[in-house]
Chains A and B, each alone.
Chain A
């Protein structure tokens, strides 16, 4: 298939959109990306076959409409032409008896659920007594599954959510009347719902999932003054920037959310800005406009770069300056995320078991059906929802042979791992351990335990040289460096990693002394350290069978700073830092080339098959992946040689999705077992996509992962694609169990995290063969 064909995939999809208040919106549902039709082998069927079937329930509800329901689109013309949109609506709506109650009009386009004559001429009179002739012309009859109809259902549904007195924050709606408070941290949690109505495989359905919004009942100003008390005047600006930038705030005077991008240290509410043609200070503005009094005239202002387009596609307005006193914080800061207490409290409220989740969803449906206003809205449009969750059949893939006796229900083999020999272990001959004098005891204890656990695993271990300075001691012969950090200060860790990843390429393992301080846990900890050290040096912990010859190659792309992990029972990682605005293809070429060279080095040939798992694609970004990235990947492969044409598969991996599945096990609604694949009913007809539940969870409901194969010239059967993907979820060595995404994605994520958070430079190429970033 040619690159042109790929470009065509979703070109030409330009349809009318119903104008919404407040200008243009991104299409978060990725509608209109038709990739399946270009893959011959999945045109007929995209379902797999292996595994045993399982009855599931999903958080979907069918949209019911009366038979032959359609939306009629009309063009409305005014003679003489009327400028104001409000006036136009008012004039048109004088004809209730013709138009009916259900109608949507954006100034030019009118949508009705029933058919008028092809051309209807109406006469209205303005208040001034001017006669206006209105011509309503039928332009389109839209079937229920047309994109405009879908967009329209979503608009109606949002209207209904507002009728239920829910507050919109960001893209979703939350219920402020039933908050959960965590007073210790001044957190308020609003329960709410993520909803979307889309054309799924068999019917149009509403997908709705429980969501929670974390809000704080303190203003940014409160937060700043507490912070100032804690860290003192000197460190305050730094700490403040670090804590606040990136957070989303909610203002006191409107319902908009803003992301804090900067702090304007040289601005205070006494500064003025131009309003109309007079200058007004922030203080006076908020006083006269909203009756809000600024009490602290010395607070600095917050800056938010508004990216959203203005009305009618106008360029976005300049940065918004916000007054901290009028901004409430939402979400969690990194500091809170790292606080066990907060996270524990939060989890208690927000982790719902499958049963709790189902009952929340059912209550939501009941609330809609009980609300007279909402029902009225739905019935005037001739719509309703099936009031039960969708039932469907999934398949549970056979479990992988990894370790004898492991229980597939747990998706975890850490217990079984203990004391078993590894697939390949690296002899540990020259290694260093660093620790401070205070931590001497724990270091010795660790050393002893390491010796104990390493034996059964087959790792030979020499006496470690105990030294203190990295620079003096780490040489080319050093296999690995173990550093016992006295505290969990990030700068220390960063400095160790930076030196050992960039300047002196050596795998390294950092441990915080506190981890080792409890003798009971030392055995577990040491086992993990030993395993981690082994795979950092290039050892293999376990393996899966992939029944494709020649060896399967898997590549993964990850976000902007690009990593490729590469598997032929060995892992290869390359991280290419990308500056803002640089084309993805530059980094892609470098990384791909390096990976293929490494493959050549070990196998003396180039792979015949390349599979790309693309992670980190946000809502509404699919189009650009299909239109730009896929051709760029193909272009990069081309640079390896004209006659090199491997089979290529590109899979978009999505973790943050609203779809949930429940299985009825022993009469109780619970999570589906790991290995459950769903490829019917709730998938999208225009895609080659499927869901896999690959993990097991102890608390809460499981979140499946969505895989969308956007390009595939390999001809692999859907069944094999699903199986391969699931197999790869077993291969993340840092976790003795199954992870949520294929291991290459997880590795790439981990590497990107290390580079982004600690090193900030491209790691030394000598490390590319090792999983040094685990």
Chain B
């Protein structure tokens, strides 16, 4: 376990920041996070979107996904000012050791603190699925650096009980380079969470490998993927409003044009009138106010406005009240007969 005070900002945030920086520099379009758990990296990427258009999270634990999935929904402001680029977020329940045709052709796949939860034989499968089947352009894999462990206070055994192994830098890099050779990738090694000065030699607390596919290795043939059965289960999908949607684009465009036209008109009227500030000269701009005077039911009011609709009409966003025009009264509504004197007091008994 990482003690929170050891790193600032906390290590998990540094890992996420690392991915954000990578996204910023490489501008991937389709990004998938394997082992997304509570979707915290996806939430982060949703804000630091840059060029991302498809954001996918996969985890084997569907309860974890379900719990926080709604946090990925668009915000009200996403509707008010739709972004120029589309964004779709999807969450799947599935295993990283299974071949899912949908996962092919991504630009970036991230596996943050994932592989150490797999048994070593599963790591084999994982390498084959991610590098050999999904064949994304880039992969970011982070895993604990076992050499750092002596620096963590009170740590016995692994950092987390579910960890099946924790690799030293050499072990990680050996595995990584093996993968690179086999599937046509090249890897760079770095990490986050530097050790304090005297122990700098042990490396980062979390080691990170950034894999890039060799340009000359073509994408695996896509045609046969169509026949393969899907094995992941879609748990959540949301399409963000964007200007790429024609309806939205038209609506926004029309709104903006009309608003600009209105502003220009207003500006023009002001310029034309020069410095005149007299109220009466302005009222020409308010034709509907004038028209109201025709209504015999206008309320003359002692408020600052001369004419107001009846003040029962507190028009909020709600519809409300106005008056007028007779319909034929029903018999039920006829006034009581004059003779019918009433006395509630005596009825009380």
Contact A740 to B321, CB < 8 A, known contacts A408-B335, A512-B306, A518-B293: yes
B3 close to chain A: CB less than 8 A? no
Interface string of B7-47 (1 = CB under 8 A from A): 01100000001001000000000000000000000000001
Cα distance, A224 to B51, chains bound together (Å) = 31
Contact A735 to B312, CB < 8 A, known contacts A409-B326, A515-B307, A716-B348: yes
Q: Using a CB-CB cutoff of 8 Å, which residues 318-349 of chain B contact chain A?
A: 318-336, 338, 341-345, 347-348
Partner of B279, one of A488, A525, A740: A488
Contact assessment for A184 and B322 in the assembled complex, using a CB-CB cutoff below 8 Å: no
Number of chain B residues whose Cβ lies closer than 8 Å to a Cβ of chain A: 86
With a cutoff of 8 Å between Cβ atoms, the chain B residues found around residue A216 in the complex are 80
Contact assessment for B79 and A179 in the assembled complex, using a CB-CB cutoff below 8 Å: yes
With a cutoff of 8 Å between Cβ atoms, the chain A residues found around residue B259 in the complex are 183-186
Contact assessment for A341 and B286 in the assembled complex, using a CB-CB cutoff below 8 Å: yes
A167 close to chain B: CB less than 8 A? yes
B254 close to chain A: CB less than 8 A? yes
Q: Using a CB-CB cutoff of 8 Å, which residues 128-185 of chain A contact chain B?
A: 128-130, 162, 165, 167, 169, 176-177, 179, 181, 183-185
Cα distance, A700 to B319, chains bound together (Å) = 6
With a cutoff of 8 Å between Cβ atoms, the chain A residues found around residue B306 in the complex are 485, 488, 511-512, 514-515
Contact A524 to B320, CB < 8 A, known contacts A278-B8, A291-B48, A340-B286: no
Cα distance, A167 to B306, chains bound together (Å) = 39
A585 close to chain B: CB less than 8 A? no
Interface string of A542-564 (1 = CB under 8 A from B): 00010111000000000000000
B233 close to chain A: CB less than 8 A? no
Please tell me which stretch of A29-37, A107-115, A398-406, A624-632 contacts chain B, meaning at least 4 of its Cβ atoms lie within 8 angstroms of it. A398-406
A605 close to chain B: CB less than 8 A? no
Contact A737 to B320, CB < 8 A, known contacts A127-B162, A529-B300: no
With a cutoff of 8 Å between Cβ atoms, the chain A residues found around residue B328 in the complex are 409
With a cutoff of 8 Å between Cβ atoms, the chain B residues found around residue A75 in the complex are none
Contact A409 to B333, CB < 8 A, known contacts A337-B315, A717-B348: yes
Cα distance, A290 to B306, chains bound together (Å) = 49
Contact A343 to B315, CB < 8 A, known contacts A253-B47, A407-B329: yes
Contact assessment for A183 and B254 in the assembled complex, using a CB-CB cutoff below 8 Å: yes
Q: Using a CB-CB cutoff of 8 Å, which residues 337-370 of chain A contact chain B?
A: 337-338, 340-341, 343-344, 346-347, 350-352
Contact assessment for A409 and B329 in the assembled complex, using a CB-CB cutoff below 8 Å: yes
B63 close to chain A: CB less than 8 A? yes
With a cutoff of 8 Å between Cβ atoms, the chain B residues found around residue A696 in the complex are 323
Number of chain A residues whose Cβ lies closer than 8 Å to a Cβ of chain B: 126
Cα distance, A112 to B46, chains bound together (Å) = 35
Q: Using a CB-CB cutoff of 8 Å, which residues 683-730 of chain A contact chain B?
A: 695-703, 715-717, 720
For residue A499, give the distance in angstroms from its CB to the closest CB of chain B.
14
B188 close to chain A: CB less than 8 A? no
Cα distance, A514 to B292, chains bound together (Å) = 12
In addition to A181-B251, A699-B319, 14 A-B residue pairs with Cβ atoms within 8 Å of each other are A183-B255, A184-B258, A212-B318, A332-B317, A347-B315, A408-B333, A409-B327, A410-B323, A414-B296, A511-B306, A514-B280, A521-B298, A524-B296, A717-B348
27 CB contacts below 8 A, A to B, read A93-B63, A126-B161, A128-B160, A184-B258, A184-B262, A211-B317, A214-B317, A291-B47, A346-B317, A347-B315, A398-B336, A399-B333, A412-B323, A487-B278, A487-B279, A488-B279, A514-B279, A515-B307, A518-B290, A525-B298, A673-B333, A697-B321, A698-B325, A735-B310, A737-B323, A739-B312, A754-B302
